[in-house]
Structure 1
Amino acid sequence: MSTTQHYYQTAGHVIAAGMVLSVMDVIALVLRFRARIESKQPLMADDWLLLPATLMVIGVGSCLVYGVQHEAFGYRQYPTSKDAPSIKALNQMSMSIKLEWSISIILPIALACTKISVLLFYKRIFAISQTLKRLMIAFIVFIVLWALAFVLATLLCCGTMLFAIWKPISEMAMCMFFLDVLMGFCITGFVTDLVLIAIPLPVIWRLKLSTHNKIIASATFLLGSVTLAASLARLIISVGFVQEAANPKKDFILNTTLYCYWAMVEVSVGVFAACLPTLKPFFRSKGWQSVASKTRSLFGS
């Protein structure tokens, strides 16, 4: 196998990503809930949606750790050939495929929960116009359908034999792993993140605030650009993943590790970034009060 093993394809880094990023999101979610409670505000839908998203991050992290324990991630593929197939190599590939499939089921749901949470947060923090509200509701519906489409595409990769993926690799002949579907998922995910980042900026800059406060408010929302960066990174990585998946000379295990590692990075960074703007009680900033009051006066609601 001619694949170069990068640091993020090593067992230690894969385990670290699975554990550290999961803990990071749990802490961020706890702080978000605590901030709402200390502000004497009820927990809303945008808060609660991040709970299943965080649980799914933990699920992806658990898949990574479990995969390393069984050498399905973070290790080189055992040598094998068509003429003399290695049982150890086949079992390794089978486990890697199953875990990748599981992550591919979890990922659209987790990302959808996070994106919808952000949209509902915008709807709550900004007193926006009815037109923008309708557009945001339409965007939420699109996100739901987007996630459902890619979950179904993954579930049906083996046709009507939904659980054929759990059979030995020798019995997976009917399973088709659509790499073009994966690319479609990455591209559309990046575009939706781009829209999410852009939504609040025109609203903020129409407010009658000082330039200083506008910059502070914009910068706070632009913290979410780390999600956009993670999404772009996974998109770029996925292009390489698709190219190497079609090359039998490349290491299947390292290539799958590459994709799943960056999937973990994207989904965990998304939850973390979604929590950041709600942590105002810990920073003693009046920016949110100013933004909220000004948007209400701007749109007269």
Structure 2
Amino acid sequence: MSEAGQGISSEGLLVVIWTLASVSTVLLAGRLLIRSIVLKSFHLDDMFGAISWLLMMLVMIIATVELPLSYQYSSILIGESPAPPESELENMAIRLRKWDVASETCFWTSLFCVKLSFMFLYKIAFCPRNKYNRVWSWSLIYIVLCYGTCLIGVYGQCGDAINLFSYEECITPYVALLQSRLVWVDYFFNVTSDIVVIALPMPVIWRLNMGTKQKLALSAICSLAMITIAFETVRSVKLHQLDSHLTNLYSYLELLVSVLISQLPSYRFLISPSEKDREYRRLFWSRVTMRSYHSGFSGYSMQNFDRTPRATESWGTTHSTIRGREVPSPISINTK
């Protein structure tokens, strides 16, 4: 099939998005398995991670259904295909808009669920810090407001929401100007909320009592959102310029990579050199391979994540014994 001015065929686009969606599905399944074995429970970050994956899959399903019509419509607009009667073209445009509104709603909701997943992961890891809690709360409020603003952009792209599916109302010069501005409004709130998610844990990470390599690794995981900011930047520029070349690809990549990244923190213990994480690995692989496992490591379940700050502080002063050596409890987070 022709690329219809979009820089990639519909078949090629579907191969790319479903390949990444499959990788995200495997990572989510692994995340839930790891949490069920190591943590023995699930938390809000897991819930938002699962919701973001579910909505991402809905976006992929909508894309699969919508793409043939989208490419047909684009082919007509650029003159590759003969133009049908005006009424038929209007019907195609309205059908596409209905699919787009559903897809964009799921897109933004999934994207911000990824951010909420990271936010609640931070909450679990750094909850004893009262000053951090205040910053975290204000950051959460800002992210929710950004999400609401992006949804307003979806339903207000033709001015009043009542005109959203009116062909005549959506092709006026006023709407064209409004849409060009909404592109940058969405960009600003999406990117600034990403920056909040990236920057929020950095001061705490660099005060932790751990090696520089571990700090860099944690910082790198939190900074992976810079990849999605790059996709969002390119996508917004192309939308502003009314350039459809690879625009859909960048949009889907932004969402797919975001959901994929949100699953990665659960796998950190598989490569961490700390004694605590080595015990987690032994526990995890023993459960996966159905082997018996015995350890004097008393804190591997990490159930203390649900403890109050006072209880957590108390646990931070206790120690476990491994092969006759004293090591800090796995949930203690000591600052320099």
TM-score (norm 2): 0.70
Amino acid in the other structure paired with 2:233 = L
Q: Deviations over 1:79-98 (max 9, x none)?
A: 39xx9965565454444433
Contact 2:4 2:71 in 1 (8 A): no
- Number of residue pairs matched? 279
Matches within 5 A, 1:192-211: 192-210=193-211
Amino acid in the other structure paired with 2:335 = L
Q: Distance in 2 between the 1:266 and 1:240 partners?
A: 14
Tell me the SS of whatever aligns to 1:298: coil
Contact 1:11 1:74 in 2 (8 A): no
Q: Identity rate of aligned residues, in percent? A: 17
Match of 1:279 among 248, 267, 284: 267
Pair 1:54-2:53 in alignment: yes
Partner of 1:226: 224
Q: After alignment, is 139-148 or 92-101 more displaced?
A: 92-101
Contact 1:190 1:232 in 2 (8 A): no
Amino acid in the other structure paired with 1:65 = T
Partner of 1:18: 17
> Would the alpha carbon gap of residues 284 and 35 (structure 1) be closer, same or farther in structure 2, given more than 3 Å must change?
farther
Unmatched 5+ stretches in structure 1? 246-254
Q: Distance in 2 between the 1:142 and 1:243 partners?
A: 29
Pair 1:185-2:186 in alignment: yes
Q: Distance in 1 between the 2:210 and 2:271 partners?
A: 20
> Would the alpha carbon gap of residues 224 and 16 (structure 1) be closer, same or farther in structure 2, given more than 3 Å must change?
farther
TM-score (norm 1): 0.77
Tell me the SS of whatever aligns to 1:77: helix
Q: Distance in 2 between the 1:228 and 1:288 partners?
A: 30
> Would the alpha carbon gap of residues 160 and 240 (structure 1) be closer, same or farther in structure 2, given more than 3 Å must change?
closer
Unmatched 5+ stretches in structure 2? 278-327
Q: After alignment, is 138-147 or 121-130 more displaced?
A: 121-130
- Greater relative contact order (Cα < 8 A, sep 6+): 1
Partner of 1:269: 257
Amino acid in the other structure paired with 1:121 = L
> Would the alpha carbon gap of residues 287 and 49 (structure 1) be closer, same or farther in structure 2, given more than 3 Å must change?
farther
Contact 2:6 2:247 in 1 (8 A): no
Matches within 5 A, 1:1-150: 5=5, 7=7, 9-72=8-71, 76-78=75-77, 79=79, 89-150=89-150
Partner of 2:335: 298
Deviation, structure 1 residue 148: 1.5
Q: Deviations over 1:210-245 (max 9, x none)?
A: 3xxx32343244134333222222222211221227
Q: Distance in 1 between the 2:88 and 2:222 partners?
A: 43
Deviation, structure 1 residue 159: 5.1
Amino acid in the other structure paired with 1:64 = A
Q: Distance in 2 between the 1:217 and 1:116 partners?
A: 22
Q: After alignment, is 107-116 or 66-75 more displaced?
A: 66-75
Tell me the SS of whatever aligns to 2:157: helix
Amino acid in the other structure paired with 2:190 = G
> Would the alpha carbon gap of residues 121 and 292 (structure 1) be closer, same or farther in structure 2, given more than 3 Å must change?
farther
Q: Deviations over 1:138-161 (max 9, x none)?
A: 111111121112213322334555
Q: Distance in 2 between the 1:265 and 1:74 partners?
A: 22
> Would the alpha carbon gap of residues 153 and 70 (structure 1) be closer, same or farther in structure 2, given more than 3 Å must change?
closer
Q: Distance in 2 between the 1:65 and 1:43 partners?
A: 32
Contact 2:24 2:259 in 1 (8 A): yes
> Would the alpha carbon gap of residues 194 and 90 (structure 1) be closer, same or farther in structure 2, given more than 3 Å must change?
same
Contact 2:149 2:189 in 1 (8 A): no
Q: Distance in 2 between the 1:217 and 1:276 partners?
A: 16
Q: Deviations over 1:242-276 (max 9, x none)?
A: 1227xxxxxxxxx2x74333222112211211110
Tell me the SS of whatever aligns to 2:75: coil
Pair 1:236-2:234 in alignment: yes
Q: Distance in 1 between the 2:219 and 2:26 partners?
A: 20
Contact 1:127 1:292 in 2 (8 A): no
